[in-house]
């Protein structure tokens, strides 16, 4: 008897159009999510509050050291905020596949450029300050891709040494603001001024110790506000120029005249750009880890190119070179909010603040002891960050301790003895007289000499490797 053929398996029914329509689209990465408007605005404002003091301290310190008048310092503050806002928008939103890291990062003026700018202003004038800044910005755009590929040449050994020197070299500037710049003046280092500065430092410590969360990060801002209120009855405040400032306005490009490009000034600012790159690299890598979107070399190069753009923009608009602000990196870690659009809102707020000259005039009129006290804490914090970075370095069985020692020693020479290079040509005085430039060159060259011929044999204590596979601790 023949057997009936087995029925062929019926094809599984294809999903209907209505069923296919119910399949959820791929979820957006948290970095690309757009939050509700109210929450977006509040979180963006929080980012601005956290970084505002650090951002405006740079023009305040530079303006005072360069002996600029209050109105000019106010102009620098507005330009500083405007450029920081534009660069933050660029970094968070991106421009095609060319510029911007597209992460929740906020840009602000870096302290790295302060000392070289003061030296350049004293030797060549403000036109050279901004000419060299433009040149450094172009240099940054040109080397962003090579730097991203060669990031191993600026490991924590180099960046930690340099950041430590940055903070140490600026403490003298804070002391000058507190005590005064003229030792022969009647009120130089007046006890009342020192007491005011000490009270501000104490307030910052108290706020940090006895508050938590977001409020604890506003200690410096509260110190500035509280110190200014105390300074009013002491007769240290003068806000007379605020009334003459406009509510809305934009500083004209090249306010100080056509830019000049002295070779020594350009070299010094290009070194500043490389140091800024090391700062931004560390912060962008940290944000990439926090948000679950690790950076590729292309991402890093686009982020570094944003720093280069800041140099060009700042040189034209009388601003300052920007870096990714570590304060805001910490805020991302604290709030766990990963949306880059929060940073974009912060950038928009900064742009708006940069268009209000009256606000810049108010900040520029803050008394020297108040600004100096806040600066003292912030500059010392920069030093502590450098020391913390050096914790990642392997010292046992290496020459890394010698590299750190020589780099800091060479960097601090012009701080301890400002005229030590007076017998050399001007270009040597500008390059060697900058603690940051000389420390960077020393650390970079010594790291090449001692580590890179044998780098494959060296490993970080924890075995972790960086973007290019090099040990993080080398």
Over residues 210-237, mean pLDDT:
77
Over residues 317-322, mean pLDDT: 91
Question: 347: Cβ–Cβ under 8 A, 6 or more apart, which residues?
Answer: 84, 85, 86, 87, 88, 89, 92, 106, 107
State mean pLDDT over 403-421.
88
3-state secondary structure of 114: helix
The CA–CA distances, whole Å, from 157 to 24, 126, 407, 416 equal 48, 34, 10, 23
Percentage, residues of the chain above pLDDT 90: 17
What pLDDT is stored for residue 468 in this prediction? 45
- In the chain, the percentage of residues whose pLDDT exceeds 70 is 82
| String of DSSP letters for 52-105 | HHHHHHHHHHHHHHTT--HHHHHHHHHHHHHHHHHHHHHHHH-BTTTB---SS-
pLDDT at 29: 80
Degrees, nearest 5: CA angle 396-401-406: 165
Tens digit of each residue's pLDDT (9 = 90 or more) over 157-171: 887 888 788 778 878
Q: Could you tell me if 339 and 104 are in contact, meaning their C-beta atoms sit under 8 angstroms apart?
A: yes
- CA 222 – CA 53 distance, rounded (Å): 10
Residue 471 has a pLDDT of 36
Residue 4, SS3 per DSSP: coil
**Paired tokens of 294:** 């690790």
Which residues, including other chains, have CB under 8 Å from residue 341's CB and lie 6 or more apart?
A: 33, 34, 35, 40, 92
Of these ranges, 179-193, 250-264, 431-445, the one predicted with the greatest mean pLDDT is 250-264
Instruction: Write out pLDDT tens, residues 124-179.
Output: 999 999 999 999 999 999 999 998 888 777 788 887 888 788 778 878 777 877 88
Which H or E run includes 322?
strand 322-324
Residue-level pLDDT at 441: 84
pLDDT for the residue numbered 406 = 94
What is the residue-averaged pLDDT of the chain? 80
- Tell me the CA distances in angstroms from 227 to 96, 200, 253, 265, 373, one per residue in order: 45, 6, 34, 36, 9
Q: Using alpha carbons, select from 365, 350, 345 the residue that is nearest to residue 244.
A: 365
Position of tokens 């108040």?
A: 370
The mean pLDDT value for 223-242 works out to 78
């Amino acid at each position: 008897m023949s057997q009936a053929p087995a029925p062929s398996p019926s094809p599984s029914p294809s999903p209907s159009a209505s069923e296919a329509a119910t399949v959820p689209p791929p979820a957006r990465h948290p970095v690309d999510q757009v939050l509700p408007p109210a929450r977006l605005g509040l979180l963006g404002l929080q980012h601005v509050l956290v970084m505002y003091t650090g951002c405006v301290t740079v023009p305040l310190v530079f303006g005072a050291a360069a002996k600029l008048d209050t109105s000019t310092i106010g102009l620098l503050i507005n330009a500083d905020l405007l450029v920081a806002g534009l660069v933050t928008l660029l970094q968070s939103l991106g421009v095609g596949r060319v510029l911007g890291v597209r992460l929740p990062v906020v840009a602000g003026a870096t302290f790295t450029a302060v000392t070289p700018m003061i030296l350049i202003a004293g030797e060549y004038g403000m036109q050279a300050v901004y000419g060299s800044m433009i040149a450094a910005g172009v240099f940054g755009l040109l080397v962003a891709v090579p730097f991203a590929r060669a990031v191993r040449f600026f490991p924590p050994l180099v960046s930690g040494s340099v950041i430590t020197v940055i903070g140490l070299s600026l403490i003298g500037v804070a002391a000058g603001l507190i005590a005064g710049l003229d030792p022969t003046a009647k009120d130089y280092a007046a006890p009342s001024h020192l007491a005011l500065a000490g009270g501000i430092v104490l307030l910052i410590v108290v706020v940090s110790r006895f508050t938590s969360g977001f409020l604890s990060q506003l200690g410096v801002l509260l110190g500035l506000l509280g110190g200014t209120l105390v300074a009013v009855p002491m007769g240290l405040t003068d806000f007379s120029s605020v009334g003459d400032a406009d509510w809305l306005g934009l500083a004209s490009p090249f306010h100080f005249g056509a830019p000049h490009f002295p070779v020594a000034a350009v070299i010094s600012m290009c070194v500043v750009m490389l140091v800024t790159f090391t700062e931004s690299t560390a912060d962008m890598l940290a944000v990439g880890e926090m948000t679950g979107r690790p950076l590729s070399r292309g991402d890093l190069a686009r982020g570094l190119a944003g720093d280069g753009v800041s140099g060009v923009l700042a040189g034209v608009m009388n601003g300052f070179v920007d870096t990714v602000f570590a304060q805001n990196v910490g805020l991302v870690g604290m709030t766990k909010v990963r949306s880059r659009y929060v940073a974009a809102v912060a950038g928009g707020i900064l742009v708006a603040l940069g268009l209000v000259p009256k606000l810049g005039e108010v900040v520029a009129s803050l008394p020297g002891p108040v600004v100096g006290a806040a600066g003292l804490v912030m500059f010392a914090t920069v030093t502590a960050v450098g020391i913390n970075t050096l914790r990642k370095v392997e010292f046992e069985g290496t020459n890394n301790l010698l590299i750190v020692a020589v780099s800091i020693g060479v960097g601090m020479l012009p701080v301890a003895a400002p005229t030590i290079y007076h017998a050399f040509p001007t270009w040597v005085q500008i390059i060697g007289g900058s603690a940051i430039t000389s420390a960077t060159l020393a650390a970079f060259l010594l790291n090449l000499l001692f580590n890179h011929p044998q780098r494959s044999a060296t490993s970080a204590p924890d075995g972790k490797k960086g973007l290019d596979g090099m040990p993080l601790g080398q």
